[in-house]
Amino acid sequence: MDFQQSMESINYLAVLVAALSAFFIGGLWYSVVFGKAWMKLNGFTEDTFKKGNMVAIFGGAFVLSFVIAWVLVVFLGPERNAAIGATAGFMAGLFWVAAAMGITYLFERKPVKLFLINAGYHVVTFTLIGFILGVWR
């Protein structure tokens, strides 16, 4: 497989849906599942969110999620399937993203619970993105 074959095999609608899945998981993760703990560990209040530029935050998050999905589909190549996609997403989320975050959290002396919440989100999200890209070719 070469880069040209990999680029030709991209289903951009699948990449878009995979990127949007990060918002679905994030919405549940940071509100229903871990919202209160995450806010407390970060020292956030409801007023914190009123002061933020939500268009820039959500727009930037979408662009970055799209980049993640696009790079992962290129990495997976044209021979991908659901198992390969989910496994690669899980491995990238756990062993690249979470491990890199862990290094930062150690030096910044952030709480382990906050690390588990944030890293866990990325592991779940990368796994779902990989699954979507693998199953929807």
pLDDT number for residue 126? 98
pLDDT number for residue 33? 98
CA R_g for the chain: 16
pLDDT number for residue 21? 98
Q: How many Cα neighbours within 13 Å face the side chain of 21?
A: 21
User: What domain range is 111 assigned to?
Assistant: 3-135
Give, for all 137 residues of the chain, the pLDDT tens digit: 566 666 777 999 999 999 999 999 999 999 999 999 999 999 999 888 888 898 999 999 999 999 999 999 999 999 899 999 999 999 999 999 999 999 999 999 999 999 999 999 999 999 999 999 999 98
Query: What is the number of structural domains in the chain?
Result: 1
Residue 85 to residue 87: CA distance in whole angstroms: 5
